[in-house]
Amino acid sequence: MTTTDVREAGGDLDVSEAPLEQRGHHRGRRWILAAVAFVVLAGALGYLVGNEVQANTQFDQAHHSLDVTRIRIARVDVQLASVRRQLTGLQGQVTQDSATLAADTNKLNSAKVALADAEANNSRQNSVITDLHTCLGGVEEALNALSVGDQSHAVAALDAVSASCDSAVAADG
């Protein structure tokens, strides 16, 4: 190591003392290093800035989507509440209609029983009426036969309707 080298390594190199060519060479290397450092720093800074801008953009997008989604949730909540209210009303109607149907079914069954009783009674009365008509016809026939002195015809007419007369009296009694 020369004296010059030692001086350079010690940082105490006196430029004015180094040859001009060597001093210019050192100055150029410093500028290059400075430029490279600047470029590297600028690139790093640019990368960081770009990355942050991208992150902010994504954040904005996500935030907007979140707002939209929250609005949709609110709308669906409204719809859901409406449908639930509707369902509650329907269930109330179903309960009421079920009770009404049960009551009507009971009423219908009672009406059918009453109708069947009335029809059975009418059928029985119709039978009585038929017997009474038959009985009356025979008795009138006997009366007419007696009016012309035909007693045997009168007896036969009464005999012919005796069953109907007995049936009518029994049913009516």
Which residues in the 143-172 window bind another protein by CB under 8 A?
143-150, 153, 157, 172
Does 9 engage in binding with another protein (CB under 8 A)?
no
Residue carrying the six token digits 């009672």: 110
Q: Please, which residues have CB within 8 angstroms of residue 162's CB and are 6 or more apart in sequence?
A: 138
**Cβ-based nearer residue to another protein, 25 or 27:** 27
H-assigned helices in the chain: 3-10, 20-147, 151-172
Please state, in angstroms and rounded to a whole number, the distance separating the CA atoms of residues 43 and 41: 5
Q: Which two tokens stand for residue 44?
A: 């790093």
In the region spanning residues 42 to 101, those forming contacts with another protein, defined by CB under 8 A, are 44-45, 48-49, 51-52, 55-56, 58-59, 62-63, 65-66, 69-70, 72-73, 76-77, 79-80, 83-84, 86-87, 90-91, 93-94, 97-98, 100-101
Q: Please, which residues have CB within 8 angstroms of residue 30's CB and are 6 or more apart in sequence?
A: none
In the region spanning residues 108 to 147, those forming contacts with another protein, defined by CB under 8 A, are 108, 111-112, 114-115, 118-119, 121-122, 125-126, 128-129, 132-133, 135-137, 139-147
